[in-house]
Structure 1
Amino acid sequence: MDNKQITKKFFENLFVDNDKAYAVLAEDVVVNWPGFGMDAIVGKENLRKFLDDSGPEKVLDLKMNNILSEGDTVIADGSIITERAGKRETSHFADVYKVKDGKIVSLNSYMVFDKSNDEK
């Protein structure tokens, strides 16, 4: 698999088949959401725990619009529609992945919440 395929495997399986998604993460993967005021999450088991505890209850739609790869860097953008406590939320993202030796070693996810969320 090339770096784009590795990233797509993670993306397409996250919240659907997490074992497949996490199979392409390095054990010590570093995941960050800049601007959210939280520390980076280090380690795939810590990421799993974080998403299990704080992630969406339901993912209604997850779309990748573009994916570009240069060397060990993969950039993807898209949108996600989730449900939490009965409230539907739409977010848009641009993710920057670093891939080494067939595993994702870091992910910075730049997320913007859709203004329409305030109206719901």
Structure 2
Amino acid sequence: MDNKQIAKQFIDNLFVNNDKAYEVLADDVKVNWPGFGMDDIVGKENLRKFLDEGGPDRVLNQNIHNMIAEGDTVIADGNILTEKEGKQETSHFADVYKIHDGKIVSLCSYMVFDKRNEK
């Protein structure tokens, strides 16, 4: 699997088939969401716990618009429609992945939440 395929496996399976998503993460993966006002999440199990507690109930639709890879870096952008407690939300993302020896070692995810449908 090349680095783009590794990042795509993570994106396609997060919140859908988490075991398949997490199998491409390094045990000590570092995840950062700039602008969320929180510390980095370090470790695959800490990420799993964080997303289990605060992530969406399910993914309704997801689109990857672009994926660019150079060396150990993959950048992907797209959007995702999720549902949590009956409320749907669209967010747009630009993710920067660092991959080493077939595993994602870091992820920096820039997210913007679509407010057009909010009431």
Tell me, yes or no, whether TM beats 0.5. yes
Measure the CA separation in 2 of the matches of 1:13 and 1:85. Answer: 20
Q: One-letter code of the match for 1:58?
A: R
Query: Any idea what the Cα deviations from partners look like across 1:20-45, whole Å, max 9, x if unmatched?
Result: 11010000000111000011100001
In structure 2, the partner of 1:33 is 33
* RMSD over aligned Cα atoms: 0.9
Measure the CA separation in 2 of the matches of 1:62 and 1:76. Answer: 12
Offset at 1:117? Answer: 3.8
Q: Say if 1:88 and 1:117, in contact at 8 Å, map to a contact too.
A: no
| 1:90-105 alignment, distance < 5 Å | 90-105=90-105
Offset at 1:86? Answer: 1.7
Offset at 1:47? Answer: 0.5
In structure 1, the partner of 2:53 is 53
List structure 1 runs of 4+ shifted beyond 6 angstroms.
Answer: none
Runs of at least 5 residues in structure 2 that lack an aligned partner in the other structure: none
Does 2:12 align with 1:12? yes
Measure the CA separation in 1 of the matches of 2:109 and 2:5. Answer: 18
Normalized per residue, the structure richer in helix is: 1
Measure the CA separation in 2 of the matches of 1:87 and 1:16. Answer: 17
Relative to the length of structure 1, the TM-score reads 0.95
Measure the CA separation in 2 of the matches of 1:16 and 1:75. Answer: 21
Does 2:78 align with 1:86? no
Runs of at least 5 residues in structure 1 that lack an aligned partner in the other structure: none
